Each structure stands twice: as C-alpha cells, then as structure tokens.
Structure 1
Amino acid sequence: MTNGQDAGAGARRIEVRGTVQGVGFRPFVYRLATARGLRGDVRNAGGAVVIRAAGDNTALDDFAARLVEDAPRHASVTDVLTTRLADAALPAGFSVLGSAAGAAAARDVPPDLATCDACLEELYDPADRRYRYPFVNCTDCGPRASIIAGLPYDRARTTMRGFAMCAACAAEYHDPADRRFHAEPIACPDCGPRTAWRRGAAAVEARPDAAGEEAVAAAVAAIAGGGVVAVKGIGGYQLVCDATGTGAVQRLRAAKGREAKPLAVMVADVAAASALASLTAADVELLASPARPIVLAPQVGGAVAPQVCSGMPDIGIFLPYSPLHHLLLRDLARPVVVTSANRAGGPMVIDDDEAVRLFAPVTDGVLAHDRPVLARHDDSVVRVRAGRPSTVRRARGYAPAPLPLPVAAPEPLLALGAQLKHTFTVASGRRAVPGPHIGDLEDAETLEAFERSLEARLVIEDVDPVYVAHDLHPEYLSTKHAARWPAERRIAVQHHHAHVAATAAEHEVEGPFLGVAYDGLGLGDDGTFWGGEVLLATYAGYRRLGRFSRAPLCGGAVAVRRPARMALGYLFGAEDLGGPALDAPPAAHPAARLPEREVALVRRMIDRRLNSPPASSAGRLFDAVAALLGVCEDNRFEGEAAMRLEAAAAGHGDAAPLAWRLARRDGLWVYDGAATLRDVLEARSSGEPPGAIAAAFHHTLAAVTAALCERAGEETGVRTVCLSGGVFQNRALETAVRAALGGAGFEVFAGERVPVNDGGVSYGQAVVAAARLSAATSEE
C-alpha cells in the first residue's frame, strides 16, 4: 500500500454542507476525530466544512456516520461528499485550520441563537470572570446572522473583528476541550464590547453618561421609574418599558408612533409567561427554543397594562434571548414591553447615531454598545395552530435558514416580494434563502434598508442573480426596483399564485393543487384587485376557478384604512350577481353613524366610478362586516378590523352560518358576499349580539370555501388544497375552513415555516420563477 499504510487504513476528503458554520461544527469534528485516533485537519471553506482524515477505515466509516448522527444541535447537515485522497500524507494528530475560500457550496448562515444554560450560569456566578457581562456566548449560543459579513465564518468576517482577544479568551478559543473552542464572537469584560448609557434629549450631542455595569444600572433605574429606554439588542434597537405601567406604555407608543397595535411582552421565564398567557405544551416549547420567538397566546389575568394588548384577547410573549435581556429582566423583576425601535411601519434602527438622534429626545435614555449590527433582525412571531407552530413573522432565530425549492432554479434568481411585511428571497439550485422581515416597503427609508440588506445577503451567498421575480403591481417599490433589470430578465408573478405556491412548496406538494388565497389586495392578471381567490395551480402556472364578489374601494387606500367606507362600498356598489338588492334597514344602516358629507361623497364616487376600483377581497369583506357590526370603523393598523371581528366571535362557537350563495360569472364560481351582508344587517336589526353574528360570519366563509373547492374538485379532480393569504392568520377562520374541507374529503395544507401573510410572498415568487425557468429550459 502507498505511504506505508496497511490494508485497513485509508484517507478521505469529506465535504459537509448545510448549516455547518457558526454552530460549533469544527470543534465537534476535532473531538470526534481525535476520539477515534484519526489524523488530519478541518477547516471552513466557502459555505462548507472540509475535512481531511486518515486512519483505520472502520474508524473512518464510523467518523463519517457520526458527522450526521451526532452533529451539534444547531447544525443542519444537508449533504456529505466523500472522496478518497490520492496522497494520504497527512500530519500527525488532528488540527483545526483557518478558513479558506474553497469550492463553491451552499452558504447557510446560522440564525442568532439564544443564550445557553452554561453561559447563563457564568452570567450569574459572582466568581466567574464573565459575571454580569452582557456579551457572554459560546459555540452553542450568541449572535450569528446579525454579525456575519461573509463566509467562510470566522472572526475576521464578523463585527467582532475590531475586538482583539485577551490572553484568557485566546486560550479558550484555541483549547479543543473548551466549549468556546473557535467560538467566533468570544468576548469578556477585558477585551469585548461594552455598554454605554446616554440620558434624555441632551444625549444627542453629549458623550455617554455611564459605561459598563453602571450603564445597565442606569437603564434599569429609568425603566423601573416608569421611563422608556432604547436598548441595542442583537439585531437592532428596541424600545423597552414597564409592561405594568399605563403611563410608560403610552409614552412608548408615542415614541414609536404606534397608536393601537398590540405590543410584545418579555418575561424572565416560563413560569412568568404562564402567569400572563394560557400556554399549551407547544407554546412552551417554542418559548424556550433557541429561536426565542414572540409567541401569540390567549391572555390571562390583568398583570400588564390594558394598553399593551389594546383590547385584543391574545398577548405576544417571549423570553430573554441575549445576556443583556437576561440582566434587565432579572434586575427589574417584572414583565417589560420590548418592541422594535422604529417609527411605525419603518425599518428597525441599527445605527448608533441614528438611534440617539431619533430616540434620545423622546425616551429617558439610550442603552447602546459598541458591537455593530450588520443585518437587522426583528423578533420573530409565531402562534400555535392545531398543535403546530405557524410563523407570522420570520426573522431573528429563523432567518436566514434556507428553504427547499421543489423545482431547481437553472440560474440564480432574486425574488423581491410584495409591499407590506416585506422580505426578499435569494434562490439557486434547489435552495431558497428568504431574508428576514424588513417592514412595510412604503417609503424611501425602508427601501434603503431593503437595498442594504439585499446587497449584504448577496455578498454572503456569493450569488449574482441572473433573473428577478416581482409582483404584478407596478406601484410597489419592490416592482420598481425590479424595473432596473432588463425586461428579458424580469419574471412577473401574480400575488396570489405566489401565496399558494409558498404553502405548497413548504409542504412539498406534488402535482396540481387547489390554492385558496384570502387576503387584503393583490393585483390580478385582469388588471383588477383580487383577494378572495380559488386557483387551480402548479408551481409554474395557475387558472382562476372561483372568487369573491366585487365591491368598490372608495378612495383606494382610504377604504383600506377605513372599514366604514368599505361597508358603504358594498351597500352602494356591490357587484350584481342576480340576487336580491343589498339594502340596510334604517336602524342598522352605517350611514346613520357616519357624517352625512362622507356618505354623500362615497355614493357620488361610486356612481361616477371615481377612484373606486373594484376588488374581490376577503380581507375587505371582513372590514365591511366589522363596520356594519360596529366592531371597528377605522383600521389604526393593518388588519385591525379583522382581528377585532375574530375577537368578538370568541365564545360563540355554535353559531350557524349566515345566508350565502354562489353564482356563475364569466366561467368562474363567484361567492356573492352581498347575500351574507344582507343577513348580517337583518340579524343586527333584529337584535342579535354582534359577537354571535361575527362567529356566524366565520362559519359562513368556511362553508363557502368548502363549496367553492367542491365545485373546483369536481371540475378538475384535484383533492389537495393549499391555504394562504393574510386572512388565514385568523385562527378561528382557518380552524373552521380546515374542518369544512376535511369533512369534504380534501387534504389541506397551510403555511407553517413560511408566513401566510405577505412575508411569504417572496419565497412563493422564487418557487414560481424557478419552475417557469426550468420549464423554459427543458423546452429549448
């Protein structure tokens, strides 16, 4: 044998792909190899880990198997490529080498990870050198995606590159037996980042008032005293206040410009969370997971100020995920509001100077630190549905973990998403990487944040997209961004096709499926606004089979913000589908509660078809019902009317459906919403409680959905249904729809890892664009 090896020895090159950088994989490989007497080395290369190992073949076989079976808990191994080494002259022993550019490979960046138990023990141990140090971390926890500038993953490619390790940290970093062996964000009070405190409006031009432990103590004192503090978290700045103080919560709302949308509450542990919310075992598992998302659950008790949840039955609750959060929660010993530091609808602030400029004048102080944030990562939001997690906002803790593409993209592509709850997705081969939630893409500030985030992601992914996918709506800023590309490189994807394709792809649905897309508004391929759709779809295309009836949006965006106008739109201009005319009894007519001038203006606009585009929208129908029942006449935040209607329906589960009918129009089955609204008005006029009517409305839409799908199934033979669109964030509706479709014999899927709201649109666009490009390539 060559190199003096016996028949039982060998040497191999093993390339491991997946989420294998930033999760302690190299230290794991080192310990695994040395325990088996192998010699060689391991290094990060491109987006992979490359191992050279020599020794007994039996040991090598076991070593290769353990790479997958015993991988670190935060790793995700997607592929292991093994080749023989022609020259097995490897050095004695086993070593961890510096990173190399290496061959191209999938570049999976791990999400930020919540502080582990071992680091928490150190944080609270007075004898430990990292006692109360806000940046303690190890290979099992700490910042990852928010500090990485590029791959391979090492300290020089993170925001820790400006902090030279002290001798003690360096010794831990280079010790294979230490849990900080090659922990790139390693730090301690002698060599790592430090906190700084700036107080009040005068802080804009002044130097910090305190640093280190004194800075944390100052922030704690301000919050305990009823103040509001801007705190620099892992993925950006957050506004923090006492969740039990009415005045503090009101001040925070004023600082943020957030009038009514519910706020998230952070508590110290699961026991404290259980005192505020009714939690299932699945809720608790999510709360304590390394992702540490905000979990939406039914509120119990009255421990927090009423202004926190703004009258909604659910509370968003989460646990500390950084050492700094742990210190604040322990010192304050109370629940605190923790929400992104931004102006309502804008991007989360990550720049220190901008944070001081914006929030020092309107808060009691800014608690900053000198470790830069490269990528903003807002907190993720999830809720448990039928025992399974459903992602509402995919950000810190989950992004940028990759998702599969059911059809491989023959060329790298970029999907630019929609306008609200904006995300983008970078796709190549069978791998799609959705970026984290950015915000509503409605102004130059958010557009700039999106473009910066996109540029950084493309560098990390080492991808130069050849094609760009975008929404049909020409006025979306994402669509205008796509217009910078040559026309032959742009792929327009209809909004609702993207929605249902995202659900189907997540669940690896094969073959055609029925897509039920219920949301606010999305431009259809006929130039009208859609939002209540039943589609026969594949990943590459779709055909519209059914829809909701149309009603005018009086004033366009004004009608979206004002459900009362939507109610008038149905009353004065509902699509005529051959049913009885929709008219309101005088006692129940919304005009009786609205200014005469507005009512007259709306009627005139509809009669003259002025700025009143028709829309077949489930979301707008929810708005109309909420207004007719007096539940909500103005949306102070997106979806408020629908959320309040769902809340009103709670406790009325046995309500029978209202009247409904289907009509045939232009080859489509159309649900006549006017028939249901007529029954809503009659029930209201006869004294039925609004909550009972709201519950009946939810059951009505479930029955309608089942009927539409039954007709579509009879026509096509397809029995698989994929649900998507922001309306399906409504737990009561989704539960009722699932039950109705299941009872009719359909197999039903809804988004879980991918949001059903517009946060999932970019992934759906990538899925559709990849399928179209693949089909076009195969035809050539």
Structure 2
Amino acid sequence: MSGFKVTISGTVQGVGFRPFVYRTAKRNNIGGYIKNSGNSVELSINGDKKNIDKFLYELKNNKPPLSRINSIDIKPCNEQYSDFRIVKSEKQGASDSVIPPDVAICDTCLGEIFNRENLRYLYPFTVCTDCGPRFTIIQSLPYDRENTTMSAFKMCEECGREYLDPDDRRFRAEPVCCPDCGPVYELYKGQENTRSDNPIRDAAAALDNGNIVAVKGIGGTHLCTSTTDANAILQMRKLLGRPSKPFAIMARDMSVARKLVYVTERDERLMLSRERPIVILPKKSELSGNISPGLDTIGIMLPYTGMHHLLFHYSKEPAFVMTSANLPGEPMALYNKDILSLGAGFSLLHNRDIKNRCDDSVIRAGRNCTFVRRSRGFVPSPVEVAETGATVLSLGAELDVTACLLKNNRAFLTQFIGNTTKPGTLAYLESAVTNLMELTGTDGVDAIAVDMHPSFNTSVLGQELSEKFSVPLIKCQHHFAHAASLSVESGIDRMVCITADGVGYGNDGTIWGGEIIAVDDGFERAGNLKPQLIPGGDLAARYPARVVAGILSGKYNSDELSGILEPYFGQDELRILLRQVETGFNSPFTSSTGRVLDAVSALLGVCTERTYEGEPAMKLEAFAKKGKVCVDIPVLVNTENRRYVLDTTAIVDAVYMAKEHGLPLHDIAASAQDAVAVGLCGMAIKAATDRGIDIIGFSGGVAYNDAIVTKVRDIATLAGFEFIIHKKVPCGDGGISIGQAIMAVRGI
C-alpha cells in the first residue's frame, strides 16, 4: 500500500471539488481524507499504486466544470486509512488558490424553480455546487458556510441532509437554502413595506405598469424599468442624472434577444455562458432610441439568477432596462437603506448581506472582441502571466479603476471599482484591495505601483500603502502601463503598441493620449499625435468645440476662427475663448487621440457636449457607420525630435473644409476616423521597422472603436506584421493596473 499527502491549489473551493474527490476515491478504492486548508485542499491518500495512479489521473482530467487546478504537490507519507472521508476545514494553508466567481444559475436548479412538485418551487435563491454566488458572499477563508453571508441562515433539516450527502449535487454548496430556511424578498413602495405575499410577482407588475424598480441581486443592485415605455426610461435618466449615457438591457431569453440585436453564433455562446456578461451588439430598430441615444449598439444580457427568471415569469415585458443603481461616479448601492434612498418607485429587497459588490461584466463583441469591464463572472479568477517572483499591488489610474495584486505568475484584478475622484468610490477601492489580499492570503507586498499623475487619489492612496508596508512606491507612466498590460497578458516582450485614449500624464509633464510605444526591454515613445492646444483644459473635454478652436488655431487667425466657431458659442464666451487661444491661459497641450475624435464629432454636429466619458467619440463612430471612406483627408507624418508625429491639424482642417463644401457628413466622419487609423498605424509600422519588431498592438480607450482598430489591423497584417489586441483585460483604464504591476516588477 502506498501513501501520499497531496495539496491541490487553484479554484478548488466552492465548486464541488471535495465531493468529486470523495466519489473518485470511493470508485478507485482509495483510503484517506480531503479537507479545505486555507484556500487550497489537502488530501491524505493510500491504496494500491495502480489505483492511486488512476485516481490522480481522474482528478486532473475529470474535475468539476467550475474548478481549476493550478498545481498538485505530492509527498510520500505513512498514514493508512481503511475508508475515505471529508473532514473539517482548516484556516491554514497555501496562499495561491482563489475563490471562484459568481456564475449563472444552472439549468437543473432553474428546472426545480418551475417544478410545482419541488421543494424550491418559485424560490429565487435556488443554487447548487455548479451555480450561484461565491465571491460576493465570502467573508473569510476557508470557503465554508460559516465564513459567508449565508451564516445568518440556519439550514433546515432537508437542506442539511443535502449539504452533508457526498452523493448529492448540493453537498457542501455553501449558499444552499430553501423557502423554509433561506433569504427572502420584500417589496417596498417608496419607503413603505408592501407586505406582499409574492414580492417578485408584484415587482413584475410594477415594471409592466411603467414604474422604476430597484432590484437587489447577488452582487449589487439594478434600477429596472420597461424597454417599451419611453416615459419610464426618461424618468430613469432624470433619476440617475444620466441624460444620454447608454443603458443596458436584459432580454427574457435568446429568442427575444435576436429580435432586439444582431447576434452571431459566437455572440450567442458568450451571452449563454455561465459568466453571463453584458455583450455590446448592433441594435435593431425595435428598441427605443432613449436606451442608447445616438449609438448603433446596445449592451444586452440574459437572466442569470432565479430572481431574474421569476421576474420574466410574471411579466409581460420582452426585456427590461437594467442599469447599475448608483449616482454618477458613486459605487453601486448595496445596503437596503441606501437602495431605498435612490428614489425608485418600488424596491425589491432581500435580507442577505452582500460582502463583495460586483458589477456586471461588459464585453464588446465583433471581430475585435474585448472586455470593456471585467467583473461579475470573472473576478476574482486570476490572469496567468509569466513568472515574476514578486508580489506587487497596483492601483490603476483615476476612472474605470481596477486594482491588481500580482503574485508571481498570477495577476488578481479586483472587480470594477469606477471613478475614484469620488470619496465613496475611493473607499470602495480600499476595501476591495483589503479583501483581495485576505482572500489570497497576502500579508505583504514587495512594491506599490500607481499612475505618475500626482493629483490622482489612487496615487495618494498608493503613497499611504507604501508607507504602511514599508515598500517602494513605483510611479508608472500611463501609456507605458497600457502597453505593458497588453505585453503581459499576451506574453509578448517585443512589440510596438499604439496607445490611444483621452488623457494620460506624460513623463515630460505634458498630457499624452496618442502614442506609439516601442516595447523592447523597456518603453520608448517612438511617435505621437501632434500636440494641440486645449483651451480651458477639462472644460474642453466637456465642450469639444473648444478643442476645434485649439487645433485650428495653428491654421487660422483670430477672425477666421471666430467665423468657424460662431455656431457653437455665444459672443461673450467666444471672445473669452479666442483670448485663451491667443494667450494660452489655462490651455495645456495634448497629443490625445480622444480629443481629436471629439473635435471631429463637434465640427460635424454629432455631439457638442459630453455628458459621459467617451460620448462624442462613441457617437462619431456610430454616425460614421452610415458613411463610406471617400473624402480626401491628408495623413501627414513628420519627424520631430527623432519621433514620428501625425499632423492632426491637417485632418481636422480637412474635415472643416469638406463640411464647408457640402460633402455628406457621414462620409466625412468615416473618412476622418480612417485617416486617424492610417496615421497611427503608419507611425507604428515605421517604428517597428526601425527596430526590427514584427508585432503591432493596440491598447487604450480608442481600441474600443471598431472601425479604427479594424483599419489598423488590416494595414498591419497586409504589411506583414502580427496584430494583437487585449483579450483578457479591458483595453481602457480598467486593464491598466496589470501593466503597472509588471512595470513595478521591472523597477523594484
């Protein structure tokens, strides 16, 4: 008889791994035990060598669908057992495993909800080991019921029987419960509890009647309303202070989704996956224009909890508007008292605490499919990277923030945090970081990494944490970090990366945003868009006609500029603006690609005021899809200070002249975007050729513009270069923290 101690790390808790091991051991006549130990599992096994070999083979190759094995450590031991048992968990253990993400309800549990003979008929919290919440309910390790927010609910006799039966699919399913012992929903009208005997049914009726309903789910709260009631949608916009920002929708099922959006087979697989992200797809005309005004796409998802399915069961609506329940810039509401203060007509609330807030993930579909937001369904699963031998905590930039805890070859990104200029969101970042370190068993780090912008709240927090842990603070240039994030997720060390976005603090003290970064044993700024005057600074980001003034000031005198800008400003404001242009007061220079696209959007009358991040450029992209690339827009690349520089004044001036000549506006928009893409790719190809590099990448917020990325891809591949884009983390600032972490490793 051979005996071994086996330690397995990975995603092995909360996924049915112990009952799987138990059944596999029984089938192969293996004696011993298994237990959770910290955030790994520990086995002691004995048996014939042939049986042990077969047992270990099945362990690796037939594991539960939600599990993931990172490593198996096997050591000989002399312990002998006649039977196999599952024993009580221990807190100690390895620190390189992780709790799995929340996943959508499985078909078996869903079938039980709608089976009149089942114990859990119409019960919204029905789950098993293959589905439901994990990350959002765990309070501490190991992942046992007493360490989750389900500890407040004592199991009834029947649930307890399932929970303790290794042959039952609910064995050690920590959220297991039923109507007799689990959480319950209540429906409030305003601040008053309706005492409804069927809160979900009555919430569905409220939605059918055009009301706004706040719905508390697994990892946060949605504000919901009908997709067919224009007044209800406008009322929700007023309530949230979001006049134009696109809302996501939840369709009843895939057949309804096909009527609302254009869907490929790959899109369907994504929508039906257990992660159930919001998928951004081209919309059809059946949808109200108030849901995503000015855009040709919409974010759509399918139900992923029992409660969602029950809402549709009782409702007549084909789909609901479902958007995160938060005021602009603030984190999503978690606590019942906060949800009731949102101002919704009705609130559907439950009595289980949410430990870890987790917004919906968002993926932009299409040829250049990539994350917009990596959160529910994916967090806290790590991104695998090359061995680093270091532990680094990085805190992202300012907007769309995620933090990253890099532990050797695994990068653990937090859930989506958001806009850290707001105190509540900054506090959320701190708590998310603390929680992530606890769940990964991390007591200390080797360095803290932040954006080099001195005014970011994340930079200030990073300074505090570096002092707390007595480790170096590494300040990372924003666009170098974008390039580093693409480099580390792809495993490619040498490339030229186009990093195009709205704004980032340059290492020369100016504002960057249209950069060609050579990645080759370091980072080099090999090219950029022509720096342009931005009169009013942040005010120009809100009113992009100001950017037009700055860009065209290099071509036209004050009187000529006045004539160009009269349609956009009153006389007094125009006079002040022209004075700013003349004196340069509060008018920094920037190489931002986003500001150039904003200027084109304003010139063509597509969007003259930004009410949410990226709005002018996003609406320009949708507008341009109605046109064709047929307007002559010059692409002039010069060499300055041994860098390639794209002349964006020539592009914006050509847009203005084409408009003055009465050319179709949609064609001008398409041609302008195309010119920007040609210019960026042209500089990247020149920089790559100079250095003998054969890979071109694209990162930054502009990488969400499908037309620009597709053009760059086509030019680069035709020229013989490999082209890469993000697949594992967002292109925008939501993925920058992993790049900061890698830069810190190199800087320690």
Q: TM-score range by the shorter chain?
A: over 0.9
Q: What is the 5 A alignment of 1:149-160?
A: 149-160=139-150
- Corresponding residue of 2:80: 89
- Establish whether residue 79 from structure 1 lines up as the match of residue 71 from structure 2: yes
Q: What is the 5 A alignment of 1:2-81?
A: 9-81=1-73
CA distance in 2, matches of 1:391, 1:384: 9
Q: Secondary structure at the match of 1:306?
A: coil
CA distance in 2, matches of 1:311, 1:545: 36
Structure 1 residue corresponding to 2:408, chosen from 429, 432, 446: 429
- Corresponding residue of 1:364: 345
- Corresponding residue of 1:481: 461
CA distance in 1, matches of 2:600, 2:116: 59
Structure 1 residue corresponding to 2:552, chosen from 544, 564, 571: 571
Question: Quick one: structure 1 residues 681 and 582, their matched pair in 2 at CA, closer, same or farther if it must change by over 3 Å?
Answer: farther
Mean CA deviation greater in 558-567 or 284-293:
558-567
- Establish whether residue 196 from structure 1 lines up as the match of residue 186 from structure 2: yes
- Corresponding residue of 2:417: 438
Contact 2:37 2:89 in 1 (8 A): yes
Q: What is the 5 A alignment of 1:662-681?
A: 662-681=637-656
Structure 1 residue corresponding to 2:250, chosen from 266, 289, 293: 266
Q: Secondary structure at the match of 2:393?
A: strand
Q: Which amino acid aligns with 2:123?
A: Y
CA distance in 2, matches of 1:702, 1:555: 27
- Establish whether residue 562 from structure 1 lines up as the match of residue 562 from structure 2: no
> In the TM superposition, what whole-angstrom CA distance separates every residue of 1:285-334 from its partner, at most 9, and x where no partner exists?
010001000011111131x3221121311011100111111111221132
Q: Secondary structure at the match of 1:589?
A: helix
CA distance in 1, matches of 2:508, 2:64: 51
Mean CA deviation greater in 528-537 or 144-153:
144-153
Contact 2:106 2:130 in 1 (8 A): yes
> In the TM superposition, what whole-angstrom CA distance separates every residue of 1:98-157 from its partner, at most 9, and x where no partner exists?
211233231312110100000000010111110110100000000011111122211111
> In the TM superposition, what whole-angstrom CA distance separates every residue of 1:256-294 from its partner, at most 9, and x where no partner exists?
221111111101211111010000111100100010000
- Corresponding residue of 2:696: 721
Q: What is the 5 A alignment of 1:217-232?
A: 217-232=201-216
Structure 1 residue corresponding to 2:744, chosen from 762, 769, 773: 769
CA distance in 1, matches of 2:338, 2:353: 13
Deviation at 1:585, TM superposition (A): 7.5
Deviation at 1:759, TM superposition (A): 0.3
Q: What is the 5 A alignment of 1:484-523?
A: 484=464, 485-486=466-467, 489-509=472-492, 511-523=493-505
> In the TM superposition, what whole-angstrom CA distance separates every residue of 1:369-390 from its partner, at most 9, and x where no partner exists?
111001110111002232x641
Q: Which amino acid aligns with 1:11?
A: G
Contact 1:263 1:339 in 2 (8 A): yes
Q: Secondary structure at the match of 2:591?
A: strand
Question: Quick one: structure 1 residues 657 and 122, their matched pair in 2 at CA, closer, same or farther if it must change by over 3 Å?
Answer: farther
Q: Secondary structure at the match of 1:118?
A: helix
CA distance in 1, matches of 2:206, 2:626: 41
CA distance in 1, matches of 2:509, 2:188: 52
Contact 1:589 1:628 in 2 (8 A): no
Q: Secondary structure at the match of 2:13?
A: coil
> In the TM superposition, what whole-angstrom CA distance separates every residue of 1:162-216 from its partner, at most 9, and x where no partner exists?
111110000000111111011011010111111111111xx1xx5x3225x5221
- Corresponding residue of 1:210: 195
Question: Quick one: structure 1 residues 84 and 333, their matched pair in 2 at CA, closer, same or farther if it must change by over 3 Å?
Answer: farther
Question: Quick one: structure 1 residues 374 and 351, their matched pair in 2 at CA, closer, same or farther if it must change by over 3 Å?
Answer: same
> In the TM superposition, what whole-angstrom CA distance separates every residue of 1:4-47 from its partner, at most 9, and x where no partner exists?
xxxxx312222111111111111111111111111111111122
Contact 1:405 1:431 in 2 (8 A): yes
> In the TM superposition, what whole-angstrom CA distance separates every residue of 1:208-230 from its partner, at most 9, and x where no partner exists?
3225x522122112111110011
Q: Secondary structure at the match of 1:52?
A: strand
Structure 2 residue corresponding to 1:639, chosen from 603, 614, 639: 614
Q: Which amino acid aligns with 2:514?
A: G
- Establish whether residue 173 from structure 1 lines up as the match of residue 163 from structure 2: yes
CA distance in 1, matches of 2:632, 2:117: 65
Mean CA deviation greater in 309-318 or 179-188:
309-318
CA distance in 1, matches of 2:326, 2:100: 25
Deviation at 1:488, TM superposition (A): 5.8
Q: Secondary structure at the match of 2:322?
A: strand
Deviation at 1:253, TM superposition (A): 1.4
> In the TM superposition, what whole-angstrom CA distance separates every residue of 1:597-638 from its partner, at most 9, and x where no partner exists?
222212211222211111001000000111111111111111
- Establish whether residue 329 from structure 1 lines up as the match of residue 312 from structure 2: yes
- Establish whether residue 255 from structure 1 lines up as the match of residue 234 from structure 2: no
- Corresponding residue of 1:287: 271
Contact 1:585 1:685 in 2 (8 A): no
Question: Quick one: structure 1 residues 588 and 72, their matched pair in 2 at CA, closer, same or farther if it must change by over 3 Å?
Answer: farther
- Corresponding residue of 2:363: 382
Q: Secondary structure at the match of 2:670?
A: helix
Q: Which amino acid aligns with 2:664?
A: P
* Residue-pair matches, total: 743
CA distance in 2, matches of 1:582, 1:682: 16
CA distance in 1, matches of 2:621, 2:369: 20
- Corresponding residue of 2:686: 711
CA distance in 1, matches of 2:575, 2:558: 16
Q: What is the 5 A alignment of 1:93-104?
A: 93-104=83-94
Deviation at 1:771, TM superposition (A): 2.9
In structure 2, runs of 5+ residues without a counterpart are none
Contact 1:405 1:767 in 2 (8 A): no
- Corresponding residue of 2:324: 340
> In the TM superposition, what whole-angstrom CA distance separates every residue of 1:628-672 from its partner, at most 9, and x where no partner exists?
111111111111111111111114344366112111212211101
CA distance in 1, matches of 2:683, 2:642: 13
Contact 1:407 1:771 in 2 (8 A): no
Deviation at 1:465, TM superposition (A): 2.5
Q: Which amino acid aligns with 1:188?
A: C
Q: Which amino acid aligns with 2:240?
A: K
- Corresponding residue of 1:406: 386
Q: Normalized against structure 1, the TM-score is what?
A: 0.93
Deviation at 1:461, TM superposition (A): 1.7
Structure 1 residue corresponding to 2:296, chosen from 313, 316, 324: 313
Question: Quick one: structure 1 residues 155 and 657, their matched pair in 2 at CA, closer, same or farther if it must change by over 3 Å?
Answer: farther
In structure 1, runs of 5+ residues without a counterpart are 1-8, 575-579, 774-780
Identity %: 35
- Corresponding residue of 1:460: 439
Contact 2:98 2:439 in 1 (8 A): no
CA distance in 2, matches of 1:604, 1:754: 43
Structure 2 residue corresponding to 1:752, chosen from 721, 727, 734: 727
> In the TM superposition, what whole-angstrom CA distance separates every residue of 1:567-614 from its partner, at most 9, and x where no partner exists?
111122x4xxxxx66999889823333222222212211222211111
Q: CA RMSD in A?
A: 1.7
Q: Secondary structure at the match of 1:307?
A: coil
Structure 1 residue corresponding to 2:591, chosen from 616, 619, 622: 616
CA distance in 1, matches of 2:639, 2:506: 19
Deviation at 1:243, TM superposition (A): 1.1
Q: Which amino acid aligns with 2:73?
A: L
Structure 1 residue corresponding to 2:377, chosen from 394, 397, 400: 397
Question: Quick one: structure 1 residues 710 and 566, their matched pair in 2 at CA, closer, same or farther if it must change by over 3 Å?
Answer: same
- Establish whether residue 528 from structure 1 lines up as the match of residue 507 from structure 2: no
- Deviating runs (4+, > 4 A) in structure 1? 580-588
CA distance in 2, matches of 1:406, 1:219: 49
CA distance in 1, matches of 2:632, 2:299: 31
Contact 2:329 2:422 in 1 (8 A): no
Q: Normalized against structure 2, the TM-score is what?
A: 0.97
CA distance in 1, matches of 2:369, 2:56: 33
Deviation at 1:404, TM superposition (A): 2.3
Contact 2:629 2:668 in 1 (8 A): no
CA distance in 1, matches of 2:449, 2:591: 24
